[in-house]
Amino acid sequence: MSGWLWYALTLVAALGAGLIAGVFFAFSSFVMRGLGRVPAPAGIAAMQAINVTVLNPSFLGTFLGTGVLSLLLGVMAAIHWGSAPSPWLVAAGLVYLLGTLLVTMVCNVPRNEALAKADAGATAAAPLWSDYLVVWTAWNSVRTLAALVACALFVVALSRF
Protein backbone atom coordinates (compact mmCIF):
# COMPACT_ATOMS: atom_id res chain seq x y z
CA MET A 1 0.00 0.00 0.00
CA SER A 2 1.41 3.40 -0.90
CA GLY A 3 2.35 5.78 1.90
CA TRP A 4 -0.25 8.41 1.06
CA LEU A 5 -3.07 5.84 0.96
CA TRP A 6 -2.00 4.35 4.28
CA TYR A 7 -1.88 7.84 5.77
CA ALA A 8 -5.32 8.74 4.36
CA LEU A 9 -6.90 5.54 5.70
CA THR A 10 -5.35 6.18 9.10
CA LEU A 11 -6.74 9.72 9.09
CA VAL A 12 -10.22 8.43 8.23
CA ALA A 13 -9.93 5.79 10.99
CA ALA A 14 -8.90 8.48 13.50
CA LEU A 15 -11.86 10.65 12.50
CA GLY A 16 -14.23 7.69 12.65
CA ALA A 17 -13.03 6.64 16.09
CA GLY A 18 -13.34 10.24 17.28
CA LEU A 19 -16.90 10.52 15.96
CA ILE A 20 -17.90 7.27 17.62
CA ALA A 21 -16.27 8.35 20.88
CA GLY A 22 -18.36 11.53 20.73
CA VAL A 23 -21.61 9.65 20.15
CA PHE A 24 -20.90 7.24 22.99
CA PHE A 25 -19.78 10.10 25.25
CA ALA A 26 -23.05 11.93 24.64
CA PHE A 27 -25.03 8.88 25.73
CA SER A 28 -22.99 8.27 28.86
CA SER A 29 -22.76 11.90 29.91
CA PHE A 30 -26.30 13.18 29.36
CA VAL A 31 -28.66 11.16 27.15
CA MET A 32 -29.00 8.21 29.53
CA ARG A 33 -29.17 10.54 32.53
CA GLY A 34 -31.95 12.45 30.84
CA LEU A 35 -33.84 9.26 30.01
CA GLY A 36 -33.40 8.17 33.62
CA ARG A 37 -35.16 11.33 34.84
CA VAL A 38 -38.44 10.57 33.09
CA PRO A 39 -40.93 7.90 34.16
CA ALA A 40 -39.78 4.38 33.25
CA PRO A 41 -42.41 3.84 30.50
CA ALA A 42 -41.33 7.03 28.72
CA GLY A 43 -37.62 6.23 29.11
CA ILE A 44 -38.10 2.69 27.84
CA ALA A 45 -40.15 3.84 24.86
CA ALA A 46 -37.60 6.52 23.99
CA MET A 47 -34.66 4.10 24.20
CA GLN A 48 -36.54 1.52 22.15
CA ALA A 49 -37.03 4.18 19.46
CA ILE A 50 -33.36 5.20 19.65
CA ASN A 51 -32.24 1.58 19.31
CA VAL A 52 -34.28 1.25 16.11
CA THR A 53 -33.23 4.57 14.57
CA VAL A 54 -29.53 4.08 15.32
CA LEU A 55 -29.51 1.32 12.72
CA ASN A 56 -28.98 3.75 9.86
CA PRO A 57 -26.28 4.17 7.20
CA SER A 58 -24.58 7.19 8.75
CA PHE A 59 -24.06 5.66 12.20
CA LEU A 60 -23.47 2.07 11.10
CA GLY A 61 -21.23 3.21 8.25
CA THR A 62 -19.06 5.14 10.67
CA PHE A 63 -19.13 2.56 13.46
CA LEU A 64 -18.56 -0.53 11.32
CA GLY A 65 -16.47 1.26 8.69
CA THR A 66 -14.03 2.34 11.39
CA GLY A 67 -13.93 -1.28 12.51
CA VAL A 68 -13.08 -2.43 8.98
CA LEU A 69 -10.36 0.22 8.72
CA SER A 70 -9.03 -0.77 12.15
CA LEU A 71 -8.73 -4.37 11.02
CA LEU A 72 -7.20 -3.47 7.65
CA LEU A 73 -4.69 -1.05 9.13
CA GLY A 74 -3.79 -3.46 11.92
CA VAL A 75 -3.15 -6.30 9.48
CA MET A 76 -1.15 -4.06 7.13
CA ALA A 77 0.87 -2.73 10.06
CA ALA A 78 1.63 -6.26 11.24
CA ILE A 79 2.77 -7.20 7.73
CA HIS A 80 5.00 -4.10 7.59
CA TRP A 81 6.04 -4.30 11.24
CA GLY A 82 9.30 -2.39 10.75
CA SER A 83 7.56 0.86 9.82
CA ALA A 84 7.30 3.58 12.45
CA PRO A 85 3.47 3.75 12.65
CA SER A 86 3.03 -0.05 12.85
CA PRO A 87 2.85 -0.54 16.64
CA TRP A 88 0.48 2.39 16.97
CA LEU A 89 -1.79 1.11 14.21
CA VAL A 90 -1.92 -2.39 15.67
CA ALA A 91 -2.70 -0.99 19.11
CA ALA A 92 -5.36 1.40 17.75
CA GLY A 93 -7.00 -1.36 15.75
CA LEU A 94 -7.09 -3.77 18.68
CA VAL A 95 -8.46 -1.15 21.07
CA TYR A 96 -11.20 -0.15 18.64
CA LEU A 97 -12.16 -3.69 17.67
CA LEU A 98 -12.16 -5.08 21.21
CA GLY A 99 -13.29 -2.01 23.11
CA THR A 100 -16.07 -0.83 20.82
CA LEU A 101 -17.22 -3.59 18.47
CA LEU A 102 -16.75 -6.56 20.79
CA VAL A 103 -18.14 -4.74 23.84
CA THR A 104 -21.11 -3.62 21.76
CA MET A 105 -21.91 -7.14 20.59
CA VAL A 106 -21.34 -8.87 23.94
CA CYS A 107 -22.57 -6.25 26.43
CA ASN A 108 -24.79 -3.60 24.85
CA VAL A 109 -26.68 -5.39 22.08
CA PRO A 110 -28.06 -8.16 24.33
CA ARG A 111 -29.43 -5.48 26.67
CA ASN A 112 -30.92 -3.61 23.71
CA GLU A 113 -32.58 -6.81 22.52
CA ALA A 114 -34.03 -7.51 25.98
CA LEU A 115 -35.32 -3.93 26.19
CA ALA A 116 -36.88 -4.22 22.71
CA LYS A 117 -39.03 -7.11 23.97
CA ALA A 118 -40.26 -5.18 27.01
CA ASP A 119 -43.70 -3.65 27.17
CA ALA A 120 -42.83 -0.08 28.10
CA GLY A 121 -46.07 0.38 30.02
CA ALA A 122 -45.85 -2.81 32.07
CA THR A 123 -44.85 -2.48 35.71
CA ALA A 124 -42.55 -5.48 35.24
CA ALA A 125 -40.45 -3.40 32.84
CA ALA A 126 -39.40 -0.86 35.51
CA PRO A 127 -36.73 -3.10 37.14
CA LEU A 128 -35.39 -4.02 33.70
CA TRP A 129 -35.13 -0.30 32.92
CA SER A 130 -33.33 0.49 36.21
CA ASP A 131 -30.77 -2.23 35.52
CA TYR A 132 -30.46 -1.17 31.88
CA LEU A 133 -29.70 2.43 32.82
CA VAL A 134 -26.82 1.39 35.08
CA VAL A 135 -25.30 -1.57 33.26
CA TRP A 136 -25.78 -0.42 29.67
CA THR A 137 -24.34 3.00 30.52
CA ALA A 138 -21.34 1.48 32.28
CA TRP A 139 -20.50 -0.61 29.23
CA ASN A 140 -21.16 2.37 26.99
CA SER A 141 -18.58 4.30 29.01
CA VAL A 142 -16.09 1.51 28.30
CA ARG A 143 -16.87 1.92 24.59
CA THR A 144 -16.42 5.68 24.90
CA LEU A 145 -12.98 5.31 26.45
CA ALA A 146 -11.93 2.66 23.93
CA ALA A 147 -12.99 4.76 20.93
CA LEU A 148 -11.20 7.80 22.38
CA VAL A 149 -8.02 5.83 23.06
CA ALA A 150 -8.15 4.33 19.55
CA CYS A 151 -8.54 7.82 18.10
CA ALA A 152 -5.50 9.02 20.04
CA LEU A 153 -3.46 6.01 18.93
CA PHE A 154 -4.41 6.61 15.30
CA VAL A 155 -3.33 10.25 15.68
CA VAL A 156 0.03 9.15 17.12
CA ALA A 157 0.39 6.77 14.17
CA LEU A 158 -0.25 9.69 11.81
CA SER A 159 2.66 11.56 13.38
CA ARG A 160 4.94 8.59 12.65
CA PHE A 161 4.45 8.55 8.86
Residue type, 128: L
Measured CA to CA, the distance from residue 40 to residue 127 in angstroms comes to 9
Per-residue pLDDT at 126 exceeds 70? yes
Confidence of residue 1 (pLDDT cuts 50, 70, 90): low
pLDDT of residue 68: 98
pLDDT of residue 71: 98
Digit-coded pLDDT (tens) for 23-35: 999 999 999 999 9
Q: Which residues contact 85 (CB under 8 A, 6 or more apart)?
A: 6, 10, 77, 157, 158, 160, 161
pLDDT average, residue stretch 126-150: 98
Digit-coded pLDDT (tens) for 51-98: 999 999 999 999 999 999 999 999 999 999 999 999 999 999 999 999
Confidence of residue 2 (pLDDT cuts 50, 70, 90): confident
Mean pLDDT over the full length of the chain: 97
DSSP 101: I
pLDDT of residue 62: 98
